[in-house]
Copies of this chain bind each other. A is one copy, B any other.
């Protein structure tokens, strides 16, 4: 039996948009592991109760429950050492943490651009939970939180300067081929792509070109994923 992944879904169960679950999707694909994804909503805490916490990604592998995208990645690396490496040794693992940390911060930086778009894609059972929990966190209505997002775009893009410097000399953050560092960073941008039409990156940005390469990996796993209704 393959690995099971509880994967955050929208009203449309095929819409999978969690920045953290996307890391895990690509990490599993990199390892060449079979996975069955199960659509999960924010309010279905009981379904993942055996993981002893309430957030996805959660995987179940041969009866073992593992949560947290970083913990899942290191679990996969240790449990399947003969499959392609996600980190390239202990030093690579240590050096990869900054990418994961950056991606965590990016989730917070990108949220004020797409919060309402996420809300519009949720299953109705999640809507009230999402609005009230997120509004408590940011201290204002989601509408006010997102207002003026166009004006915040320039400093956001400016904050990506270090990544652009790296991409001047190599196609992926892992070098010639992607590593977990790439999957960690892919998550927040795929989260935005799957839920919103708002263009975070300019078409001429090297980060945009990198993201396009990431979308093509594993037979277009990211590119072919259902996104919000673009009608």
Mark A residues whose CB is within 8 Å of B: 85, 87-99, 101-102, 104-105, 159, 161-163, 165-166, 169-170, 172-176, 179, 181
Return A183 CB to nearest CB of chain B, in Å: 13
Specify the chain B residue showing the minimal Cβ separation from A164.
B101
Specify the chain B residue showing the minimal Cβ separation from A96.
B95
Give chain B residues whose Cβ lies under 8 Å from the Cβ of A91: 85, 87-89, 92, 174-175, 179
Give chain B residues whose Cβ lies under 8 Å from the Cβ of A87: 91
Give chain B residues whose Cβ lies under 8 Å from the Cβ of A172: 94
By the criterion CB–CB under 8 Å, are B89 and A173 in contact? no
Given A88-B89, A89-B88, A89-B89, A179 and B95 contact (CB-CB distance below 8 Å)? yes
Say which residue of B159, B161, B175 sits within 8 Å of A94 (CB atoms): B175
Give chain B residues whose Cβ lies under 8 Å from the Cβ of A92: 88-89, 91-92, 95
27 sampled A-B residue pairs with Cβ under 8 A? A87-B91, A88-B88, A88-B91, A89-B89, A89-B92, A91-B92, A91-B179, A92-B92, A94-B170, A94-B174, A94-B179, A95-B95, A95-B99, A95-B174, A95-B175, A97-B165, A97-B169, A97-B170, A98-B98, A98-B162, A98-B163, A98-B173, A101-B162, A101-B165, A104-B165, A105-B162, A159-B159
